[in-house]
Amino acid sequence: MIRVLDPATAVQRPVRARRWEDGDRRRAPAQLRPTVYVAEKLLVRGDQTDQGLEPKVATLLAERFGWTLSPVGKPEPRREYRLDVKLESRRPQVLTLSVAEGRLAAPPDAWLALQHIADEFPELAGEFELVHVLAATTLTGIGGYWSGIGGYWSGIGGYWSGIGGYWSGIGTSSTPGEYGVPGLGGRSPVALVVADPALTAPKVARPPVVVMPDTGIGVHPWFRDLSAQPLAFPPPPASGVEVKGSPVADVDDGVTDYLTGDIQRLAGHGTFIAGIVRQACPSARLEAHAVMASSGVMEEDVLLDDLHDLLERQLGALESGDAAAVVDVLTLSVGYYHEEGADADDASIAQVLRDLGRAGVLVVAGAGNDATTEPMLPAGFAAGPAEASALPLVSVGSLNPNGASVSLFSNAGEWVTTYRTGAAIVSTLPVNMNAGVQSSSRVDGDASLTPAQRRALHAGVGQPPRDRSTIDRDDYSGGFGVWSGTSFATPVLAGELARALLEKGTDAVDLSSMLDRGWAALSSVLGLDRP
């Protein structure tokens, strides 16, 4: 179950200034912000499970609430690598909450559990985390960020309008929502008469690898060499395109309800991103990780698993010199608002993204579409200090098609590193995407003939006429569409960085070369200097 954290009513542990034996004064809870989380899941990290503290926590929750705490599998410890890199992240353990058998209890609530754990065992306050709900940073209709997750907010009684107007300048503003209307930047079919740029791209010994955790890549002429692989990260092919993960959301027709013929709000999202990278850097090898449904929603633990798998793969490839398995750029077009805002820089997702930067991966993330300065994570982590021995995360806002003015929907603030065109941008969409919307006017070919022409046609004279119609707004059989959002400004920059890496030469895959090349790309594309 998805729950909404309302700062006005949420239970919060008392603020206490306790001094521990080591003399360290723990940080008091930050001022709460609204967030969305999974009610039945918690993350735990650090040495908590190794030290046998979990049974105490389980006993606390069982006695107070009648809830059972159960681990989901057991994360494998990271093996030691012979690399000169200091890592801070650790794959967190996922815990599930459920009502204990034979108990009459309220449904589990991870936030309530978290507060009681932190109050009873203050030394564990920083070890447990919520599993947040992430959504694609894409405009799909009137309103901003949350309109892209299946109209969730519209189904809970206008929640955001009732908590002090926090979102009143976002979801209820008709002007930013304009971008979600077909014809004004919303997803709609267009015709593109250029060929696949990869057909004429220079062939290189080791093309830069761009990883895209999203909805996968659907059926499209630009991606004929598509291959599906499980999320086990075997050595990828030397060239081409591949999708890891199953099921791959973009492979279906995008229909969310066959009774109404509605199309999923984020159907084709990953395919659209892949097409943008292909246009920006045709020589790049695209690797799509299908970890998000076409509703545009992803649970944080799913992304964390993918990122830790990617980090393990990168470290192993750097150690062994396996050029085929090395990743150059990671582009993230999803985000969420953390309950601690910018103070969440020690969250598990922040740690693993910093470690990917230390392992030579350029990470770019979309800033969000809510016209707010509140940091959307992970893009908001770009506000942190840069390290000479790590590539920094870069956050991307959206520009209008003129390339000069900022899109009105785009988030902003000092934490936004740069801007790229993300409004009314053209890219690829699966050719089998076609839902129930019909053309506003349609004429069968036979009906367009005069009686004389019809008689001649029946006599075998002339060619059968084609049907006539206005534009069918959800028929993407032409393979291309227009769409808006920082989701799409982000892969524009990812492609630019991949192209800059090519110019520096991508053959050397030792850690030092990866870091030097990454910083050189950041300098040439964004003017960022290495500290």
Q: What is the pLDDT of residues 161-199, one digit of tens each?
A: 333 333 333 333 345 778 888 888 889 999 999 999 999
d(CA 269, CA 488): 9
Sheet containing strand 188-189, edge to edge, reads 188-189, 480-483, 425-428
Residues 6+ apart with CB under 8 A from 45: 90, 92, 93, 127, 129, 348
Predicted local distance difference test score (pLDDT) of residue 5:
93
Tell me the HSE value of 433 on the side-chain side, using a 13 A CA sphere.
34
* Alpha-carbon gap, residue 97 to 71, rounded angstroms: 9
- Quote the CA–CA distance of 424 and 276 in Å, as a whole number: 12
CA-nearest of 493, 369, 498 to 420 is 493
pLDDT lower than 70: segments of the chain = 15-30, 46-53, 139-175, 225-242, 244-248
| CA–CA dist 204, 214 (Å, integer) | 26
Q: Where are the beta strands (DSSP E) in 72-109?
A: 93-99
**Which pLDDT value is given to residue 157?**
32
Here the tokens at position 210 are: 């761009």
Query: Which residue is listed with tokens 């398995």?
Result: 325
Domain with CATH 3.40.50.200 in the chain: 186-430+478-526
Tell me the sheet residues that pair with 19: 25
Residue 293 CA to residue 219 CA, distance in Å, equals: 16
Tokens of 195: 């060929």
Element (H, E) at 316: helix 300-320
Q: Shortest CA distance to 274 belongs to which of 250, 253, 256, 293? A: 250
Contact by Cβ (8 Å): 272, 214? no
| Three-state secondary-structure class, residue 42 | strand
Determine the 3-state secondary structure of 348 from DSSP.
helix
pLDDT at 6: 92
Rounded to whole angstroms, the Cα distance separating 359 from 370 reads 32
Phi first, then psi: what are they for 151, rounded to 5°? 65, 30
Alpha carbon separation from 39 to 5, 8, 42, 78, 111 (Å, rounded): 10, 18, 8, 28, 7
State the Cα angle at 75 between 70 and 77, rounded to 5°: 145
DSSP state for residue 154 in the 8-state scheme: G
CB 394 within 8 A of CB 522: yes
- Residue 17: which residues within 8 A CB-CB, separation 6 or more? 25, 28
Residue 328: closest CA among 377, 286, 280: 286
Q: H helices within 121-209, ranges in order?
A: 174-177
Alpha helices in 400-510 (DSSP H): 451-458, 486-504
| CATH number for the segment(s) 186-430+478-526 | 3.40.50.200
Specify the pLDDT at position 436: 76
Closest CA to 490 of 311, 269, 217: 269
Helix (H) or strand (E) holding 5: strand 2-5
Check if the beta carbon of residue 298 is closer than 8 Å to that of residue 334: yes
pLDDT value of position 77: 82
Where do we find the tokens 């990290």? 45
pLDDT on residue 178 = 85
Answer whether 243's CB lies under 8 Å from 268's CB: no
SS3 457: helix
For tokens 């959504």, name the residue. Answer: 135
E-strand ranges in 369-448 read 394-399, 418-421, 425-428, 442-443
Q: What pLDDT, on a 0 to 100 scale, did the predictor assign at position 124?
A: 83
- Say how far apart CA 222 and CA 426 lie, in whole Å: 14
H or E segment and range at residue 120: helix 110-120
